[in-house]
Structure formats: C-alpha cells, structure tokens
Structure 1
C-alpha cells in the first residue's frame, strides 16, 4: 500500500471525494449525531468537495494524502499511477494543515490532522498508524513541533486510537446554538 500526495486535478479529486471523503463523512454521521449530512445526491457532494479540496490544497501548509493499492492480479503501480486510475483501489485519506503560532506565544507551530480515514476493509491493518506516521513526517517537513487534531467526544473508537497514538487532551471545545 502506498501513501502519496493527493493531486489537484479534477478527475483525481472526484475519485477521492466519491471513494474516500464521502464514505468517511457518512461513517462519521452514522457514529456521531452532530455530524449529520445534508440531503444531497452523491454527485452534489462530490462536485462541492472537488472545488473545496482544490482550494484548500492550493493554500500553503495544506496537504492531502491518499493511501492506494493495486488489487491482486492488477498490473498498476500505486506509487506512480494516477489517483484517478480505475484499477487503483483507494484505501485511506489524510488531510493536514499548519497552525502557525503567532509571535507573542511560546509554543511551536502545529500540524493539524483535519481528516483521517481508513476504508472499512482495511481497518485494523495498520494503515491508520501509517497515516499518523505520514502526518509526523509532514510535521517535520513543515517545521512543526506538535501534531493536533479534533475528535468528536462520542466517537469512542477514534478517541481510543488517538490515545493509543499518544495524543492527549489539550483543550475542551464548547459549542451552543445561536438563538
């Protein structure tokens, strides 16, 4: 399995959105009440995400990563084939961004893991560990001294995984509806 940068070409972003981003958010919506999705068609979700992801990846400090593999018997190299290649199986995603520390504060810049997802058949395979390792490399490449992420408090599986990875609570985030 190869982990590589997510390109910003439309066909690659469409495939990424349809096969990784949308399933990730559907899984999250099923597990976390506060993550309900709009009542849109798959095509609308994909097209909206293509533009959003492209804009995000064009900003300095933002990176997208996909994990891919060639199914048995398929002659395609996941390290070099286009993410849009129909024979390539997309198995996971990682989105990162840099949270720069303003000058007056004494803390290192942080690399924020915005999204991390492993497709159902690959859960428990170690791919999530490899995606976190990729984030650590990304942090070093961008001179960040810390990793940070947000996780929904009722996503117990994710909480357990992140704690196993050495993440510790930093802040408590509170929200309320606007009346």
Structure 2
C-alpha cells in the first residue's frame, strides 16, 4: 500500500470521485444525520466532484492524496503506473489545505485535514494512521505548526480515532436553522 498525490487529470479525478469520494460521503451520510446527500444519480455526484476537486487542488496549499494497493493477482508494477490503472485499487483518501495565519495573530499556520477516508475492507489495517502521518508530513513541508480538522459530533468512530491521534477540542461550532 502506498500513498500518492492525487493527479488533477480528468480520468484520475473521475476514478477518485467514484471509488473514494462518493463512498466516503455515502458512509458519512449513513452515520451522521446532518450529512444527507441529494437524491442524485452517482454520475452527477462524480461530475460535480471532478470540477470541484480540480479547482480546489489548483489553489496553492491544497493537496489531495490517495492510498493505492495492488491485489495479489495484479500484473502491474505499482511504482510505474498511474492511479487510473485498473490493477491499482484505491483504498483511501486525504485532502489537506493550509489555513494561513493573518499577520496580527501570534500563531503558526495550520494544515487543515479536510477529508480523510479509508475504504471498508482496509479499516483497522493502520491505513488511517498512515494517512495522518502523510498529513503531518504535508504540514511540515508547508511550514505549518499544527494540524486542524472538523468532525461531526455524532460520528463516534471518527471522534475516537482523532482523539487517539492526539487531537484535542479547539472550538465549538454551533448552528441553527434560519427559520
């Protein structure tokens, strides 16, 4: 299993959206009431995400990562093929961005973990830990002194994982309906 930068070409982004991004959000919607998805066909989600992710990754400080594995019966050399190669299995995702600190404030820049996901068959294998290690390396590479993320309060599995990773509460976000 290796972690690679997510390419921004059309085929790579389509595969990422269909095999990682959409399952991640479907799993999240099943676990968190406030994360309901629109009643769209899968292709519409993929189309919208390809454009969104490409635009996001073109901004400085934003990075996308995918974990790839090679099934035992695969013939491809994982080191030499693209993430679009059918022998590679996409097993996890990580999206990060830099939250730059404005001049008047005395804190370091933060690397924000926007999304992290491990496909069902790979949960409990340590892949999530490796993705967080990648986020920490990303933070160091971009001169960020902290990692930050948001998590839904009713996503107990994610909360436990992040606490185990050493994350501590920082802020409390509150929401309410306008009506």
**Into which bin does the TM-score normalised by the smaller protein fall?**
over 0.9
Partner of 1:23: 23
Q: CA deviation at 1:178?
A: 1.5
Instruction: Give the RMSD, CA atoms, in angstroms.
Output: 0.7
Q: CA deviation at 1:15?
A: 0.3
Partner of 2:153: 153
CA contact (8 A) 1:4 1:79 kept: no
1:97 is aligned to 2:97: yes
Show structure 2 runs of 5+ residues with no match.
none
More displaced 10-residue stretch of structure 1: 11-20 or 79-88: 79-88
Partner of 2:44: 44
Equivalenced residues, count: 179
Partner of 1:68: 68
Could you tell me how far apart the structure 2 residues matched to 1:170 and 1:81 are? 41
Q: CA deviation at 1:83?
A: 1.1
CA contact (8 A) 1:68 1:89 kept: yes
| TM-score, with length taken from structure 1 | 0.99
Q: CA deviation at 1:176?
A: 1.1
Could you tell me how far apart the structure 2 residues matched to 1:106 and 1:34 are? 34
Q: Could you list the runs of 4 or more consecutive aligned residues of structure 1 that deviate by over 4 angstroms after TM superposition?
A: none
Show structure 1 runs of 5+ residues with no match.
none
Could you tell me how far apart the structure 1 residues matched to 2:74 and 2:92 are? 19
Partner of 2:121: 121
User: What secondary structure sits across from 2:48 in the alignment?
Assistant: helix
